[in-house]
Structure formats: structure tokens, C-alpha cells
Structure 1
Amino acid sequence: MVHINSMLDRPEQRECVTLDFNKQVCPAAVTQTVNGGAKFYVVYDQFRYAIGDVIFGDRVVKGDCTFTCREVIEDVTSDNKEVLKIRTIDAGTGVSLLEFIETEPNSNKYVDLERTPLEINFSNKTLPTGFSVFYDVTTSTTTISIEQHLRNQYCIGKIIVGPNVVESTKCIERSISLWKRRDGKQVISVDTTSSNEVVESFYLIEQHAGMDDYTPYDPREGLDDIEIGSIEDELDFSLDSDSV
């Protein structure tokens, strides 16, 4: 019996395809799909092909196709600068995301994409421009994030919750989730996604319901924290469950 991933285990047997955006012609082995305004480029048969070198403007991102797979995302900012993202998955090193942005619209000159961090202070009763708020009725959770069309330009930076400060850090995405336990204490989770797609979470919890007296909390501590208690033991849903 042949292992279904045997072709991926021997990447030298795949054809390495160059994706050259300067030629405006997509290779036959590469398909393009559109999702949310962005264009996604992948090979149509990952057992036979892999995207190797990616050429755009004055940049060349090399690829020897020894990795598992590679996809390229073409997007545009709200001020019409083109954005290129190269996402590579390697069985040994994991996920790597490289992001580039035009210096000016139609300049065809690219630099590394650096998002501008936007500060949130929970002492303020309103959010600054550029943020969106979504309420999930299934989990009774409110999520704060950057508006979709601005996520290639901005990210959530420093977060101030009373005396607690979550410092700004370089990331591809950061969101804030808020929910209340049955005892009325509110929990705040700050989730930061790095370019390797690893998500780090930082938690704060009210010590007394409705008092905004937040303190850092590690849910792994569980019931060892007598004053605060476990986040999960009072939630209407499990942090490890997809259902209510």
C-alpha cells in the first residue's frame, strides 16, 4: 500500500513552479480563487507541483519546493497599495508567513509589511476609529478586532485595562474577547497571532463582579487560585469545546 502523502514526503518528485506577478500570466499548474476581495494562488495538484520562486516588482522570494506546500495571497490596502503574502508550510519548521506592501500605489516597489499598532484603553467608553465589535450569541462573547479592510495596515497594539498593560508587539493579528461568568465576573482574553500562526493568549479577570478590578489570570492554574477560581468552572461553555 502506498502512503497517500508519499509524494509530499519526496518533494523532489514534484515540479517546482515559478509564480511571476510581473508577467501577469498565471502558470497552468496554479489556480486562482477570490475570497473577501483577496486572490489566493495555489497549485491545483499538490502531489505533482509546488510553488517555488515568487517574483513581484523588485522582489524575489526563493523557494526550492522542499517544503510541504506554499500559497500566495494578493490583496490591496484601503489606500490602494498592493499587498503580497507568501505562506509556506514545512513539515519540520511549521508555518512561515512573509508579507510585503507597495511603497506607493502602482509603484511596483515593495517593502516588508509593518502594521501600525492602535492603542485601546478600557477607561475610555468608546473605541477609536478602525475597530469592529462582534457579538457571538452562541457563546455570549464580544470580540474586538481591526476592521477587515484595515487589517493589512493596522493591528491592535497596547491594551490598557486599569493598572494592567498588555504591551504592543509585532504580529499579524490581535483580537480581544470579553465574556461574563455566571457569577458576573468579566473575563478579558487578548489573543495575539504571530507570523508562524502561533496564537498566544493573555487573560484578565475581575476580582469582584462589575468592579473593573482586573487582575492577570492563567486558566491553567484552575482551582489553585482560591480568590478568583477557575474561568471554566463558571462558564456557560467550555473553552475546549466548539459547542455550547
Structure 2
Amino acid sequence: MLKNLIEQARVLPGEVERLTLKLYETKQRLHTLLEDKAKLEAQVAGEVAGETDGNGKKRYPNEEARKAEIAKRLAANEIYQANEEAVKQAREEAVALEAKLDRARYQHRTATTLLNLLASAIQAGRKDIEEAILSSTEAAKREAAKKFVEGVKEIAKGNGSSNGNGNGNGNSLKEAKVTVLEARPGKSEGTIRAYCQTEEGEKVAVYAKNSTGKKLAAAIGEAVALKFKEMDHGWFAVSIN
């Protein structure tokens, strides 16, 4: 168990970076494909709108007729259909990569948290917590579960990391300069989720809402200064300059 935790803490940061870059490349490819799709649609729409009969009259005078003809021509356009398939594949790949990235981040966060807790448990002489962390059986983990929670609180107090509510310094604001690589709407209404790169080269997910979210979405490709709170799944920006 300990060997696995150490290996995950060592290897997963590189895996997170690899997946982040691959996801960024996939989304860039998807963006290009969607642009090509829009160009083809505009081209066909222009052809249909400008087409006339032998008397010089519009062949498709109303919108309904034009839409039907556009759909018919696009369905018969091999380039457009190949683009549609490529868009579908890119979207599916992006979804799969996001799932892998979230899992790798979770595994790395869990491994480092358990290793830090193990070190604190050893210093505090808490064998029950060591057993809970290193046990390879679910029965042993359940046996140590109650003492585990109590031990975590005691260790936190002993290390001076508690502020009275068990959150440590989690609510304090931090500052960083990042380059915004990509931004899109988050799952919650009014939320923007961006992938950013720090000055040290680390890739991080940054979330923001309302006016801060709009600034973040408008800053793709730019370097910005953030004030943020750290969360389990990334940073939550409270201001951006």
C-alpha cells in the first residue's frame, strides 16, 4: 500500500500534465473542425440563396425551401459528412480525456493527502491511523475508521494547522500569475471553467463566476493576475487583473 501511494505521488503529476495537454490539443482540434463546418454551411447556404431558374427568379424563394435544400446538399456533401464524423469523435475523445484527467487528479490528491497524514501519524505515535492508511483489507480499515477521524483532528491540532473549524488555511486568498489556455462554461449556471498555466508551468483548472468569470473567459491566450481560493478540484478566482 505504501509503495503504491509513493508511486502515485511520484508518477501522477506527469500523467495529469500529459492529459491536460492532450485535452487542450483535442479541444483546439474540435474548435478548428467546428469552424470548418460553419464555413461549409455558409458556403452551401450562399449557393442556395443565390440560385435562380431559367427566368432569373430565385429557385428557392422562401426560407423553408432554402433550409430543406441546404440540408439535402449537406447530407450529400462527403467533405461535410466527414467533418461531422470528426467533430463527433473529437467530442467523445474530449469527454473521455476529462474523465481520465479528473480521476488522475483525484488519485494524486488522495495519495499525497494520505502520505502527509501517515507522516503526521508516525510523528504522533498513532498506530491506529497508520493501520487505517496502510491496511490492505477493508475489514481492518473499518475497524480503525472511528479512531481515524479522531486522530486526524488531534494531529491537525498538534501541527498547528487547525483554525478552529477544521479547514486550516483553506479559506485564505492566494495570488498567482497565469496564462489562460482555454475557457468554457462550467456545469453550474454563470460559472466559467478555464485551464490555465502558472509561471512554473503547472496546469490548473480555474473557476470563476459573474463578472470575474466573464473576464476569465475573455482572457484566453493572455497572462493575468488572480486572487483565488484553493479547492479540491482547482482554484476559485475571486478577482482577475
Q: TM-score, normalised by structure 1?
A: 0.21
Q: Comparing both structures, which one devotes a greater share of its residues to helix?
A: 2
Structure with the largest fraction of strand: 1
Please give the TM-score of this superposition, normalised by the length of structure 2.
0.21
Q: Greater relative contact order: 1 or 2 (C-alpha under 8 angstroms, separation 6 or more)? A: 2
